[in-house]
């Protein structure tokens, strides 16, 4: 018999679990199979792959950006499951959702082993004292190191000061892509039954206080076009019904509200219910001012819970109005008011982002966890029809007495042995200090560095070039420390268009020996737009619209065939890494252009003279 998700109110029959791991270790794929094999869908029902990655950007990049809830029933037990992002830039999502669960499944790749984000998510889970199970995934990989990875995971638990009880974890071995799990890697199974049984057996039922007044800590937000903003959180105590008068305790003051609608998750879709009991995850409608960290509590006996606190963001960029000559051609949302409204909307549900006003009414400083997080926000905005200019990411410095502090990153680098020298040299230039070096024995070496966060801005593309695309670079925020002095910026200058027009193949052909080109023939350009990277240190003003003058004279030598070097279009993240302090990225729904902050060459020259 298929049990309705909303029917289960007994807290002992509820299990709340989060799937946590480093990026690309198979979390979303595993959640898909857990939901499908529980008999949630009909046999003939069409189900998308990576069901939980609902945003277009997530499907395209193959990464989870926002934490998402889902729910399914297995043998009379209701399992609420949370899929979390694996990239450290979205770590704020993981910190929040661990408040909603009693257990966590830590996924580790059978070849790569524990990586920086594995450490980060495990540390957060151990701090909250929730039950952690370990799943070694991708055991079918030809380069799988199952026993060594298991030992590395155990070392990681010890390193993070896990208690004896926490370090005595249960290990499940899985191939998430094929939907199978086993307790012994040598014994092949065809399904995830082992995993379901271990979740029910090992994850404790939610600790609830049935007779106490209502308490719900808001851990996530959503929006419904019919009932407005939705608060998502676990019912810690009491129960909640539609029509109840409750109190929302906020950061500044309290507010009474009437519960207009209640929802619970069935798979990944909210389903309307009348009542939700303690221990379950509730979605509450009734107020437009819900914020993450608020407590929804009884109006007669208010008992607020401690607010959620997440680690401080460390990287900031300036979002400003697009003032280029082609402004307003692609996008419909171009004014500072529209950009401000969109950023304020983002702040409502993204606790890891902050916004500060600048001296100008036309620009705003947005501070986040890293370039990827900020890049994803810009990408979402351009898809919504926005046009804006984005500056180079800058780290956020702190002052403590006379000391200037800057954020540091713990970088773990996986490379082939032959590239150890060049990578160590480049990290040294960026003030990185080697903390560990281990040889895997398969021709690859793992290096660990502690490096200033600003040293890594702009390094990733260079790193891929140095390691011929075979290197892996993973980083994790590692606190603030003393400022390490100046770090060398980009060595090469820019090729800057000196007039407005259309790029011509003949002009590009003549210029490509001067450096790397960013534009292809027939691209519209304007004065001050960057069209390439100069091979030398100085900036170069070029005429990329110059056509070949036609004459009646023909000679075998002068009419050479024009052969252009293929241009690889820059992604938003690559552009953010490449630009320098006095350059901007112009982002529109259809184009990503690089440009100088000051388009007029005379003003640019005066400014550089006054700065020097």
301 phi and psi angles, rounded to 5 deg:
-130, 75
Lowest mean pLDDT among 106-110, 236-240, 448-452: 236-240
Residue 67, pLDDT above cutoff 70: no
Which band of pLDDT confidence, cut at 50, 70 and 90, is reported for residue 93?
Answer: low
pLDDT digits over 563-582, tens only? 888 888 888 878 888 888 88
pLDDT digits over 481-517, tens only? 888 888 877 778 889 999 899 999 999 998 988 888 9
Structure confidence at residue 502 (pLDDT): 93
Helix (H, G, I), strand (E, B) or coil at 570: coil
CATH class for the domain made up of 5-202: alpha beta
- What residues have CB less than 8 Å from 77, skipping those under 6 apart? 8, 13, 14, 15, 200
Average pLDDT, the chain: 81
Structure confidence at residue 5 (pLDDT): 45
For the segment 354-365, the average pLDDT, to the nearest whole number, is: 88
How many Å apart are CA 472 and CA 85, to the nearest integer?
Answer: 19
Residue 50, pLDDT above cutoff 50: no
For the segment 285-313, the average pLDDT, to the nearest whole number, is: 79
Structure confidence at residue 52 (pLDDT): 47
Q: What percent of the chain has pLDDT over 70?
A: 88
Residue 435, pLDDT above cutoff 80: yes
- Tell me if 415 sits within 8 A of 467, measured CB to CB: yes
Partner residues linked to 530 by β-bridges: 496, 594
pLDDT digits over 324-351, tens only? 899 888 888 889 999 998 998 888 767 6
Which band of pLDDT confidence, cut at 50, 70 and 90, is reported for residue 54?
Answer: very low
Quote the tokens at residue 569.
């279009």
488 phi and psi angles, rounded to 5 deg:
-60, 135
Structure confidence at residue 43 (pLDDT): 45
Query: What single string gives the DSSP state of each residue in 81-147?
Result: EEE---SGGGHHHHHHHGGG-SEEEEEEETTT-S-HHHHHHHHHHHHTT-EEEEEEE-TTSTT--HH
**558: Cα within 13 Å, side-chain hemisphere:** 8
Structure confidence at residue 44 (pLDDT): 41
215-298 carries CATH number 2.40.30.10: yes
Structure confidence at residue 4 (pLDDT): 46
Domain ranges of the chain: 5-202, 215-298, 398-482
Which band of pLDDT confidence, cut at 50, 70 and 90, is reported for residue 86?
Answer: low
Partner residues linked to 552 by β-bridges: none
Q: Which long-range contacts (CB under 8 A, 24 or more apart) does 29-33 make?
A: 29/176, 29/177, 30/105, 30/107, 30/135, 30/137, 30/174, 30/176, 31/70, 31/81, 31/83, 33/176, 33/179, 33/192
Query: What single string gives the DSSP state of each residue in 192-217?
Result: SHHHHHHHHHHSPPPP-BTTSPPEEE
Structure confidence at residue 529 (pLDDT): 92
Topology of the domain comprising 398-482: Alpha-Beta Plaits (3.30.70)
Which band of pLDDT confidence, cut at 50, 70 and 90, is reported for residue 461?
Answer: confident
């Amino acid at each position: 018999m298929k049990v309705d998700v909303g029917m289960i109110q007994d807290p002992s029959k509820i299990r709340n679990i989060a799937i946590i791991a480093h990026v690309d270790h198979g979390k979303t794929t595993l959640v898909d199979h857990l939901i499908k094999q529980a008999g949630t869908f009909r046999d003939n029902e069409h189900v998308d792959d990576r069901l939980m990655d609902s945003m277009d950007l997530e499907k395209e990049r193959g990464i989870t950006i926002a934490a998402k809830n889902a729910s399914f029933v297995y043998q009379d037990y209701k399992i609420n499951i949370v899929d979390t992002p694996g990239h450290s830039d979205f770590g704020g999502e993981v910190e929040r959702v661990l408040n909603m669960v009693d257990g966590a499944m830590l996924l580790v790749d059978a070849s790569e082993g524990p990586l920086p984000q594995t450490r980060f998510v495990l540390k957060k889970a151990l701090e909250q004292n929730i039950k952690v199970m370990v799943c070694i995934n991708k055991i079918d990989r030809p380069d799988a190191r199952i026993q060594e990875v298991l030992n590395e995971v155990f070392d990681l638990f010890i390193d993070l000061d896990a208690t004896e009880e926490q370090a005595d974890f249960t290990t499940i071995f899985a191939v998430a892509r094929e939907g199978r799990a086993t307790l012994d890697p040598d014994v092949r199974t065809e399904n995830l039954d082992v995993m379901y049984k271990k979740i029910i057996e090992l994850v404790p039922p939610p600790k609830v206080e049935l007779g106490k007044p209502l308490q719900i800590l808001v851990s996530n937000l959503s929006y419904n076009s019919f009932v407005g903003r939705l608060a998502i959180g676990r019912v810690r105590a009491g129960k909640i019904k539609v029509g109840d008068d409750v109190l929302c305790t906020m950061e500044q003051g309290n507010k009474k509200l009437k519960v207009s609608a209640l929802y619970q998750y069935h798979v990944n879709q909210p389903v309307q219910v009348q009542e939700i009991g303690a221990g379950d995850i509730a979605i509450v409608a009734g107020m437009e001012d819900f914020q993450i960290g608020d407590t929804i509590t009884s109006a007669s006996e208010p008992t607020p819970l401690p607010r959620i606190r997440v680690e401080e963001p460390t990287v900031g960029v300036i979002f400003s109005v697009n003032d280029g000559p082609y402004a307003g051609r692609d996008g419909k949302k171009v004014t500072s008011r529209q950009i401000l409204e969109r950023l304020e909307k983002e702040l409502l549900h993204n606790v890891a982002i902050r916004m500060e006003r600048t001296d100008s009414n036309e620009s705003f400083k947005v501070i986040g966890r890293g370039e990827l997080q900020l890049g994803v926000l810009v990408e979402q905005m351009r898809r919504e029809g926005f046009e804006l200019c984005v500056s180079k990411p800058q780290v956020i410095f702190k002052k403590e007495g006379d000391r200037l502090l800057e954020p540091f990153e713990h970088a773990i680098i996986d490379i082939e042995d032959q590239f150890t020298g060049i990578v160590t040299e480049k990290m040294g230039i960026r003030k990185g200090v080697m903390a560990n070096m281990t040889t895997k024995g398969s021709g690859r070496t793992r290096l660990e560095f502690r490096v200033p966060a600003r040293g890594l801005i702009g390094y990733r593309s260079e790193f891929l070039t140095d390691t011929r695309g075979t290197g892996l670079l993973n980083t994790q925020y590692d606190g603030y420390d003393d400022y390490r002095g100046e770090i060398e910026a980009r060595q090469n200058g820019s090729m800057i268009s000196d007039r407005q027009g259309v790029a011509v193949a003949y002009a590009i052909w003549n210029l490509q020996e001067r450096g790397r080109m960013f534009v292809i023939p027939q691209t519209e350009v304007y004065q001050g737009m960057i069209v390439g990277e100069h091979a030398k240190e100085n900036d170069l003003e070029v005429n990329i619209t110059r056509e070949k003058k036609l004459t009646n004279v023909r000679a075998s030598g002068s009419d050479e065939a024009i052969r252009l070097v293929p241009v690889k279009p820059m992604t938003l993240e690559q552009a953010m890494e490449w630009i320098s302090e006095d350059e901007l990225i112009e982002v529109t729904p259809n184009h990503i252009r690089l440009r100088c902050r000051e388009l007029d060459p005379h003003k640019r020259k005066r400014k550089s003279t006054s700065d020097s």
